[in-house]
Structure 1
Amino acid sequence: MNDLRLSGKRARILADHLLSVPRTIYQRSSLEAALGMFLDLGRKTALHRASTVSASALSRFLNAYTWDTRACWDSLQHTQWESLLLAARRKRRPRLHLCVDLTSIPKTGQQLPAVRVYNGVHGIHLVVLYAVYGALKFPVGYRVYRGRGTPTPVRLALDLLATVPSPIRRRFDVCVLADSGFESAKFLQGVRDEGFEFVVGVRSTRRTDHPGRVTVSDCEHGSWLSLHNWPWEVVTLARCDR
């Protein structure tokens, strides 16, 4: 019960911080209505379901008004990292998983900002970093991939990992999880430079440095591999059904 009460108290403190950001009472009312919608898991989120403000007012707040969204995001991130530290109190060097994922949100409009075609999907493409510790799981950062000529998903993922605060690095053993979209040597090297362990998917066609033209598909579950273009540690291969 103590944990539940403390969690509720921290949630109220966070809500107060967020609601203090908008400068006008109308914007605060709209933000309060939006928070109520997003935090109510029992109903579908849609603007016309807002109970305290009109759908048009909420739409203007989210799409037209200028307000400091950066301050809201900073408050949210601070609370999330603090929640992880609180959950790990009295634990001896606990393990924290940071999951990197590329998520595509399909869009039909042609003039929307940041919309691109990537991997056959026309939409907005986000590189998202999730923190997972015990029952806690939430996104702690994201970057928008804007297409050719801009930072790649790998570069964006490494930028996200670089934002992990020092108290988290000192408190946890951090392990990065990612799928084969992030198997490049550049990504693995970047994770290694951050001091994190990693479990990353690899394509079955990826080459190894074993004699002959040996690929990952030629190796057995549990094998030790020397990956091509990866001069550092020998890695262990684990196969899983998808």
Structure 2
Amino acid sequence: MWNLKLRGERASILADALLAVPSSSYQQRSLKAALGLFLDLKTKKALHRAHTVSASALSRLLNVYEWDTAACWATLVQAQWEALLLAARRKHHPRLRLCVDLTSVPKTGRELPFVRVYNEVYGLHLVVLYAVYGDLKFPVGYRVYRGKGTPSPVRLALDLLSTVPPEVSRRFDVWVLADSGFESAAFLQGVRDLSFEFVVGVRSTRRTDHPGYVTVQDCQHGSWVNLANWPWETLTLARVDRGERTFFSVASQLLPGDCVAREGGRRWAIESFFKEAKHGFGLNRFALRTAQGLDRWVLLVFAAFTLAMLCRADTLSLEQAAEVAARVALPLLVVQRLTAPLWQEEEFLRQHGYSLTLSRCKT
């Protein structure tokens, strides 16, 4: 693990770069308050819970004001890839795992953008690309699945994978991990066209090219198979028993079955992210009524998670890391939050002969 102090400095630099994007000081102050809210994992994500600015100010920042969201995304993603490349410095054949998956955020309102029914869930459906290297884990992109007649989750996942910078592809041994929702021949071929390896889940009924009707369920753990509708590469099959169910996955390299199973199990990192993003960082609290508001809300979730991850040590929980990130990246906001109860009692203090001032010491 590379130096935590350096990671903290990079978190501070990233936050400063993000906060510098809006053109006016008013918008910058609102963005700082919003980022502070998303880094406070003890507080439910509602606009009225932000410190130093009103809910209406945050609503205008997210829905109305014309600040360059694309520049913020570019700044965030560049910082994530740079952190991964720095962590792999001087490593021999480092392996980067790119997990792709779709998560659904149930919603009830009909005026929210992109709300659809998919897999019997009415809500927002996001395809997310999640990069994992060592103890660094970042959500590096997302796409919204908009329903029938629009690009499929498989197409959106391949689009996300195509955004991986060339320097990352050259530096890392890149493996794509996905569940059986991405088992299609189009996805497997798309991953190989990008020169990435993969471990992808497959259904038990997935046919092989053996004569007769032979499915992966009929094959042994660790055996080499060719899929009926994608016979161009020989794959390794892994079987994993969990209770009464058996899960199957195939790998693009001819590895022992146990290695394929272990590699496929690393896909669960993205499931952990989904849980943390929804219940800690507020992804499931989205209630804005514009597409721009959704994009900016997801940006704040991803940015807050990234800052917390940059400041996380082995001994810290994600909640503690987020608090450290807030102190490192937004010190003035933290001071204002800590002193807010005292300012509310300013009149009481004055009546008893006390005055309250806040000044910054020279260091």
**Which TM-score applies when normalising by structure 2?**
0.65
**C-alpha contact (below 8 Å) 2:108/2:123 kept by paired residues:** yes
1:108 offset after TM fit, Å? 0.7
Which residue of structure 1 lines up, in the alignment, with residue 22 of structure 2?
Answer: 22
User: Which has the bigger relative contact order, CA under 8 A and spacing at least 6?
Assistant: 2
Conserved? CA contact 2:2–2:87, under 8 Å: no
Shift of residue 111, structure 1, vs aligned partner: 2.2
Deviation at 1:35, TM superposition (A): 1.0
Distance in 1 of aligned mates of 2:3 and 2:48: 35
Residues 97 and 133 in structure 2, CA contact (< 8 A), matched pair in contact too = yes
- What does residue 123 of structure 1 align with? 123
Instruction: State the Cα distance separating 1:183 from its structure 2 match.
Output: 0.3
- In structure 1, C-alpha distance between the alignment counterparts of 2:239 and 2:26, rounded to whole Å: 54
Tell whether the 8 Å contact from 2:101 to 2:179 is kept in structure 1 after alignment.
yes
Letter of the structure 2 residue corresponding to residue 9 of structure 1 = E
C-alpha distance in 1 between matches for 2:210 and 2:3: 52
Task: Report matched runs for 1:15-164 at 5 Å.
Answer: 15-164=15-164
- Match of 1:239, SS? strand
Matching residue's letter, 2:20: S
* Whole-Å separation in 1 of the counterparts to 2:241 and 2:28: 48
Counterpart residue identity of residue 77, structure 2: Q
Residue 237 of structure 1 corresponds to 237
Please identify which structure carries the higher helix content: 2
Deviates more, 1:198-207 or 1:46-55: 46-55
Task: Report Cα offsets for 1:73-98 as digits up to 9, x if no partner.
Answer: 00000000000001001101100000
**Structure 2 counterpart of 1:231, which letter?**
P
- Calculate the aligned-residue CA RMSD, in Å: 1.4
Cα drift, residue 22 of structure 1? 0.9
- Residue of structure 2 in register with 1:6 after alignment: 6
- Length, aligned pairs only: 242
Q: Deviations over 1:168-195 (max 9, x none)?
A: 0111000000000000000000000000
Most deviating of 94-103 and 20-29: 20-29
Using the TM superposition, name which of 213-222 and 94-103 deviates more: 213-222
Q: Which runs of 5+ in 2 are unaligned?
A: 243-363
Larger Rg: 2
Percent of residue pairs bearing the same amino acid type? 75
Measured after TM superposition, the shift of residue 11 of structure 1 is: 1.1
Give the C-alpha shift of residue 233 in structure 1. Answer: 1.5
Shift in Å, 1:138 = 1.3
Superposition map of 1:172-211 within 5 A: 172-211=172-211
One-letter amino acid matched to 2:172: F
- The runs of 5 or more residues in structure 1 that have no matched partner are none
**C-alpha displacement of 1:39:** 2.2
1:112-137, Cα deviation, whole Å (9 max, x unpaired): 21111111111111110000001111
One-letter amino acid of the structure 2 residue matched with residue 128 of structure 1: V
- Residue deviations 1:5-52 (CA, integer Å, cap 9, x gap): 111111111111111111222211110011112223344333222111
**Aligned partners of 2:151, 2:192: CA distance in 1, in Å?**
20
- In structure 2, how many angstroms separate the alpha carbons of the residues matched to 1:207 and 1:175? 24
TM-score (norm 1): 0.96
Q: Structure 1: which amino acid aligns with 2:228? A: H
Residues 207-240 of structure 1 deviation map (CA, whole Å, 9 limit, x = unaligned): 1111110111111211211111112221111112
**CA–CA distance in 2 between the matches of 1:239 and 1:2?**
36
Give the distance between the partners of 1:27 and 1:72, measured in 2 at CA. Answer: 13
Cα distance in 1 for partners of 2:191, 2:227 equals 16
Q: 1:2 to 1:115 in 2, by over 3 A?
A: closer
Secondary structure of 1:21's counterpart equals coil
Q: CA deviation at 1:2?
A: 7.3
Question: Which deviates more, 144-153 or 216-225?
Answer: 216-225
**Helix, strand or coil: the match of 1:105?**
strand
Q: Give the aligned partner of residue 223 of structure 1.
A: 223
Equivalent position amino acid for 1:142 in 2? Y
